[in-house]
Amino acid sequence: MFENLRIKEHMEVTDINGQHIGTVDEVEDERIKLTKSDSSDNMHHFLSLDDIDRIDDNRIYLKAAATIPEGVA
């Protein structure tokens, strides 16, 4: 699992192929809270830190098997 200290507000979250999923609002416990502005339902959605494959520069790549919440871009 990745240290949540490496995850910063406004980092881009993508799938394994680099397709935009959302933007980090903050880290809460063991979850990434995504901004409302990236969701189709104007709600916050969460991703588990366990779903992170890697972090490069200002981008978080999720594992291929990551569960993407419904309503996320």
Report pLDDT digits (tens) over 36-73: 998 889 999 999 999 999 999 899 999 999 988 888 86
For the chain, the structural domain boundaries read 4-62
Contact 35, 23 (CB under 8 A): yes
* CATH value of 4-62 in 3.30.930.10, 2.30.30.240, 3.40.190.10, 3.30.200.20: 2.30.30.240
Give the Cα separation of 5 and 64 in Å (integer): 23
- In terms of pLDDT, which residue wins out, 69 or 32? 32
Q: Is 1 a residue whose pLDDT tops 60? A: no
CA distances in angstroms from 50 to 40, 42, 46, 66, 73, listed in the order given:
24, 24, 12, 8, 20
The tokens 């990236």 sit on which residue? 38
Q: Are residues 22 and 9 in contact, defined by beta-carbon separation less than 8 angstroms? A: no
